[in-house]
Amino acid sequence: MTLTERDREAQVTEQAWLPRGVDAHRPTEARVHDYALGGKDNYAIDRAYAHKLMSLVPGIGRPVVDNSRFARRAIRHLRDAGIRQFLEIGCGLPRPGDVHEVAGPDAVVVYVDYDPVAVSHFQAVLPSTGPARAIRADATRPAEVLSHPVVGEVIDFAEPVGLLTTYFFHLVTPEDDPARILREFREPLASGSHLVLSHPTLDFLAEEEIAAVREVFAELRERVTVRGRAEVAALFDGFDLLDPGVVEAPRWRPDRPYRMSAGRLLAGVGRKA
């Protein structure tokens, strides 16, 4: 699907007042995600990309909604298990149901993203001295995150931490080694810490659909790596998977009736012994 005349006009208007450093010439994961959730922090190029993807495989945008609902259920589980501090890797743009809203006012939360726009949006909506903070750091370099002054100030690694990596690792390439990244994040975590992880998969599509979707993925600013169930399960190395294991996100401890779609998201929660 190509840009409509309305979107073309919007694109010209948007580019006239873009903040410095914002690229509206290529769609970005965070802004497409925002659009799929009904947000306003996106541009014509992101909306056109989303429609193009959904025209190829109806329902492929569903994992964005599934991810948001899974994350809320998982955070509530961690909260009920007594966890009061959370580190969200690849937070993206603010959205309803963010960690600090679900975990409660006494929870300590650090949002981490490399995108300065995402971080600045979070910093604009979070009190500067509150228990929820947002920092810019490269999560493919865990030491950069863990040594950040804000993390050192508010996170007590002697106590359990909820490490949240929902809808993030598909943006981590094999060269960046997801297993290494998770190992380096896991090592300083106290016993009882939890990993919450979700990851889109194309396992349920036909080969010709997969090829077409991969072509569209190439238009994103970020490089997308889609993994299968076995690869996603392997990311939980060092954590004990909680029931029901790695499953389609709507099937992880559902709290409402759900329906499956052509787009699938794998999800799971693990606990560090």
| Structure confidence at residue 263 as a pLDDT band (50, 70, 90) | low
102 neighbors 73 (Cβ within 8 angstroms):
no
216 found inside a domain: no
Range of the domain at 117: 62-204+224-271
- pTM, 2 dp: 0.86
29 found inside a domain: no
Query: How many domains is the chain partitioned into structurally?
Result: 1
Q: Give residue-wise pLDDT tens across range 92-114.
A: 888 888 999 999 989 999 999 99
Strand partners, 271: 194, 240
14 found inside a domain: no
Cα–Cα dist 193/142, whole Å: 16
115 found inside a domain: yes
84 found inside a domain: yes
Q: What is the pLDDT of residue 39?
A: 86
Q: CATH code at 241? A: 3.40.50.150
230 found inside a domain: yes
Q: What is the pLDDT of residue 20?
A: 52
128 found inside a domain: yes
Amino acid symbol at 197 = L
Contacts of 159 (CB under 8 A, 6+ apart): 84, 85, 190
Q: Which residue has the tokens 């297993």?
A: 179
Q: Give residue-wise pLDDT tens across range 8-38.
A: 444 444 444 445 556 678 998 888 888 988 8
Q: Comparing 54-68, 133-147, 197-211, 245-259, which segment has the lowest mean pLDDT?
A: 54-68
Q: Which of 51, 63, 77, 96 is nearest to 258 (CA)?
A: 63
Q: Give residue-wise pLDDT tens across range 48-82.
A: 999 998 888 777 778 888 999 999 999 999 999 99
Cα–Cα dist 11/109, whole Å: 35
Q: Which of 111, 268, 272, 112 is nearest to 198 (CA)?
A: 268
Alpha-carbon separation of residue 120 from 93, 94, 96, 134, 197 (angstroms): 9, 10, 17, 8, 24
